[in-house]
Amino acid sequence: MTAQITKPVPVPGTETSLPGPAPSRLRALLPGPSAGANGAAMYRRWWLPWLWTAPAIVCAVVFGVFPFLNTVLLSFTNAKPLGGAASFVGLDNYTRMLDDSDFWLATRNSILYAVIVVPLMVLLPLMLAVLVEKNLPGIGFFRSAFYTPVLASSVVVGLSWQWLLADDGLVNTWLEKAHLIRSAIPFLSDSWLILLSAMGLTLWKGLGWYMVFYLAALGNVPKELHEAAQMDGAGAVRRFWHITIPGVRQAMMLVGTLTGIGSLRVFTEIYMLGSSTGGPGGADRTLPFYIRDVGLDPITGNAGYGSAVSVALFALTLGLTLLAQRLTKEDES
Amino acid sequence: MTTTALDKRRRLLPRWRDYGRPRELVVRYLLLFLVLGLTVGPLLWQLLASLKGTSEDVFGANATLLPHHPTLRAYRTVFDQVPVWSYIRNSLIVVALSITSQLVFSTTAGYMLSKPGWKGRKAVWVVLIASMMFPFESIMVSLFISIRDLGLVDSLAGVWLPGFVGAINVLLMRGAFLAVPREIEDSAMLDGANEWQRFRYLYLPSAWGAIMVVVINTFISAWDDFLWPLIVLRSEGNMTLTLGLSRLQSSSFGYDQRMVMAGSVISVIPVLVLFVITQRWFYKGVSSGAVKI
């Protein structure tokens, strides 16, 4: 297209008087590239690109990179969350962590969360996406409706599940009416059931999100494969396993990675279903929950120790990410 | 003659059997309604419970699904007994601040990163990517200490600042700007548009979809956020809506369940309205790879 241009191209950045809303006094602050020797635009005022990107850089450094470095530093101190003198304590926080059974319990809960939630979150939304993929009358309504749990905040969903799972809540009442159980299932007082209920909540809230994610991926699976298999007499289940799943492998790997990282970040679900203590005696606390408890409590908190646990959480996340990357690579080759 | 016209019209409209075999259709719709009950059911139940009067049971064997005498009493009570207006105002302040800063600075930074020809782009890129590597939960202790040192504990600014401008949104905007064809910019330059004019009148309008994704994602994450406000905010007057709602849960407050449900409904409505208006872009936000569980 550029070859057809007959008018000489004005050198950018040298515009003299132009119509338009940019006031001339502001012109000095606006970026103006001029053609460099190799044809690439070069900015005459070298600092202009920096000015335009500065807020993003500052935010990334101040609220992203620096806090992490500071977390590592803090983990060698006994800083208090609300200030006061802090001193260097060497590896004390880390040795304390290794002996801390509550820390290991939280780690176990977080890992268990990922182990149970990830496979379900990879498969269930995919099945749901297959269900709503076909254009049927009213399918748009179903798609939107399945998405609504994503919109509600975890707090609202938690409140709703609290009342659903209470001893005299809807689930227990219905099960009793159907004579499936004699006494109420203690969803909200037994530590295992709280953990499982929280996982259910995470799944329920994520279904719609990943359904939409998979819908985009399903569009790339060739329709002809399905038709050919159907003619050869393959049923819906076999086509799902042998055509759909291989067709969306990459999307599944990505969902697995995202939900794995997400599982390690769970906090609100436990807070809402297991109350602010994180289950009876804190038995359902996840790592973020534990970090908040030990590191940020205004009175008993030890930001140094909380930082050490934070480093452990980061290491776990990093390990999971690397594992996922490796699996993806192996999958591709 | 009339029959042929009718036949023609009929052929244009899809018929039920065009959608597949009857048995398959029945199974599909049964499954669809089952999932509908499971996903929307709890939220719908929440809405219905909020409309019940005090004489009706919300729980237990005598509770019915539909309220016999629908009433808005619970909504009046929740506004009377709990400072809901203050919660909503605080949430809206954080949402408005976040959307403004995210929008302005993710577009400007994304635009510059989409341009060749300045030194240090790669370094900026690396810093942005690095800032996305750390899960919020693993840096929240030190974030809190930074906010404390800035004197922003128990302030809405403290809730807002870490979400000032997200690297993910910068990358999203950069991608959208890169998709603008080079030829259009060349012809705009030919017409004498300077860089600001090209940014404002060419790039921004063509990245409309990505801008909507940034707005929607920012709105939802700021409106629904819980852990960070829980850490930063202390006093009742500064609490956001999710925080205020979570406090209704503890039975020690002795609140009526209908009221809690009413509060939940109030908090879902803005997001639901946003969803209905901007449905098209919502789905785009998911496929653009934003992280969420």
**What pLDDT is recorded for position A13?**
44
- Residue A273: how many other CB atoms lie within 10 Å: 25
> What are the residues whose beta carbons fall under 8 Å from the beta carbon of B263, sequence distance 6 or more?
B78, B82, B84, B244, B245, B248
Strand partners, A42: A34
**What pLDDT is recorded for position B279?**
76
Task: Test B127 with A83 for CB contact under 8 angstroms.
Answer: no
Distance from CA of B246 to the nearest CA of A (A): 6
Q: How far apart are CA B136 and CA B228, in angstroms?
A: 9
Distance from CA of A283 to the nearest CA of B (A): 19
pLDDT, tens digit (0-9, with 9 covering 90-100), for A20-53: 444 444 444 555 544 443 434 556 677 888 888 9
Task: Test B165 with A276 for CB contact under 8 angstroms.
Answer: no
Phi-psi region of A233 (alpha: psi -120 to 50; beta: other; left: phi over 0): left
Task: Test A213 with B286 for CB contact under 8 angstroms.
Answer: yes
Establish if A247 touches chain B: CB-CB under 8 angstroms: no
Q: Which residues of A touch B180 (CB under 8 A)?
A: none
Q: Which residues of A touch B112 (CB under 8 A)?
A: 31, 49, 52-53
Task: Test A159 with B29 for CB contact under 8 angstroms.
Answer: no
**What pLDDT is recorded for position A244?**
87
**What pLDDT is recorded for position A174?**
84
pLDDT at A329 over 80: yes
Least confident of A94-103, B238-247, B282-291: B282-291
> Which fold would CATH assign to domain A100-332?
MetI-like fold (1.10.3720)
* pLDDT-derived band at A256, boundaries 50, 70, 90: very high
* pLDDT-derived band at B4, boundaries 50, 70, 90: low
Residues across chain B = 293
Task: Test A66 with B39 for CB contact under 8 angstroms.
Answer: no
Phi-psi region of B67 (alpha: psi -120 to 50; beta: other; left: phi over 0): beta
Q: Which residues of A touch B111 (CB under 8 A)?
A: 52
Q: How far apart are CA A66 and CA B187, in angstroms?
A: 43
pLDDT at B78 over 80: yes
Establish if A14 touches chain B: CB-CB under 8 angstroms: no
* pLDDT-derived band at B60, boundaries 50, 70, 90: low
The residue ranges of DSSP E strands in chain A, in sequence order, are: 33-35, 41-43
Strand partners, A35: A41
Hunting for tokens 């000095």 — which residue is that? A28
> What are the residues whose beta carbons fall under 8 Å from the beta carbon of B107, sequence distance 6 or more?
B173, B204, B207, B211
From chain A residues 28-67, the ones with a CB under 8 A of any chain B CB are 30-33, 36, 40-43, 46, 49-50, 52-53, 55-57, 59-67
Contact of A272 with A194, CB cutoff 8 Å:
no
Residue of chain A with shortest Cα separation from B35: A146
Over residues B194-219, the mean pLDDT reads 87
Over residues B166-180, the mean pLDDT reads 89
How crowded is the C-beta side of A278, counted as CA atoms within 13 Å? 20
A109, two tokens: 């809960």
B200-203 LR contacts (CB < 8 Å, sep 24+):
B200/A21, B203/B111, B203/B177
CA dihedral B132, B138, B140, B145 (to 10 degrees): -110
Establish if A10 touches chain B: CB-CB under 8 angstroms: yes
Q: Could you say which of B142, B161, B220 has the minimum Cβ distance to residue A307?
A: B142
Percent of chain A with pLDDT over 70: 87
Q: How far apart are CA B247 and CA B250, in angstroms?
A: 6
- Ordered by start, the domain boundaries in chain A are 100-332
Task: Test A59 with B164 for CB contact under 8 angstroms.
Answer: yes
Hunting for tokens 């990357």 — which residue is that? A325
Q: How far apart are CA A211 and CA A208, in angstroms?
A: 5
Buried b (16+ CB within 10 A) or exposed e, A101-138: ebbebbbebbbebbebbbebbbebbbebbbbbbeebee
Establish if A137 touches chain B: CB-CB under 8 angstroms: yes
Q: Which residues of B touch A303 (CB under 8 A)?
A: 141-142, 144-145
From A272, A256, A268, A280, select the one nearest A328 (Cα to Cα).
Answer: A256
Structural domains of chain B in order of their starting residue, each with its CATH number: 14-71 (no CATH), 82-287 (1.10.3720.10)
Distance from CA of B116 to the nearest CA of A (A): 7
Q: Could you say which of A145, A287, A292 has the minimum Cβ distance to residue B40?
A: A145
Least confident of A155-159, B256-260, B282-286: B282-286
ipTM of the shown complex: 0.84
Establish if A149 touches chain B: CB-CB under 8 angstroms: yes
Name which of B16, B45, B138, B186 to mutate to probe chain A: the one with the most chain A Cβ atoms within 10 A of its Cβ: B138
Task: Test B165 with A207 for CB contact under 8 angstroms.
Answer: no
Over residues B186-208, the mean pLDDT reads 84
Specify the DSSP element, H or E, that contains A160.
Answer: helix A154-165
Task: Test A159 with B248 for CB contact under 8 angstroms.
Answer: yes
Distance from CA of B61 to the nearest CA of A (A): 6
Name which of B27, B95, B122, B145 to mutate to probe chain A: the one with the most chain A Cβ atoms within 10 A of its Cβ: B145
3-state secondary structure B205-260: HHCHHHHHHHHHHHHHHHHHCCHHHHHHCCCHHHCCHHHHHHHHHCHHHCCCHHHH
* pLDDT-derived band at B9, boundaries 50, 70, 90: low
Establish if A320 touches chain B: CB-CB under 8 angstroms: no
Q: Could you say which of A42, A154, A164 has the minimum Cβ distance to residue B226?
A: A154
Percent of chain B with pLDDT over 70: 85
Phi-psi region of A190 (alpha: psi -120 to 50; beta: other; left: phi over 0): beta
B15 or A141, higher pLDDT: A141
Task: Test A134 with B39 for CB contact under 8 angstroms.
Answer: no
* pLDDT-derived band at B90, boundaries 50, 70, 90: very high
Task: Test B226 with A162 for CB contact under 8 angstroms.
Answer: no
Q: Exposed (0-12), middle (13-18) or buried (19+): which is B252, by Cβ within 10 Å?
A: exposed
Task: Test A9 with B132 for CB contact under 8 angstroms.
Answer: no
pLDDT at B244 over 50: yes
Least confident of A280-289, A315-324, B204-213, B234-243: B204-213
Residue of chain A with shortest Cα separation from B219: A151
Strand partners, A33: A43
Residues across chain A = 333
Task: Test B148 with A83 for CB contact under 8 angstroms.
Answer: yes
Establish if A240 touches chain B: CB-CB under 8 angstroms: no
Q: Which residues of A touch B195 (CB under 8 A)?
A: 12-13, 30-33
Buried b (16+ CB within 10 A) or exposed e, A43-71: beeeebbbebbbbbbebbbbbbbbbbebb
Distance from CA of A24 to the nearest CA of B (A): 12
Establish if A169 touches chain B: CB-CB under 8 angstroms: yes
Task: Test A262 with B192 for CB contact under 8 angstroms.
Answer: no
Over residues A240-250, the mean pLDDT reads 87
Contact of B39 with A208, CB cutoff 8 Å:
yes
From B141, B135, B100, B93, select the one nearest A292 (Cα to Cα).
Answer: B141
B16-19 LR contacts (CB < 8 Å, sep 24+):
B19/A134, B19/A136, B19/A137
* pLDDT-derived band at B14, boundaries 50, 70, 90: low
Contact of A205 with A150, CB cutoff 8 Å:
yes
Task: Test A265 with B197 for CB contact under 8 angstroms.
Answer: no
Average pLDDT of chain B to the nearest whole number: 83
Q: How far apart are CA A280 and CA A291, in angstroms?
A: 18
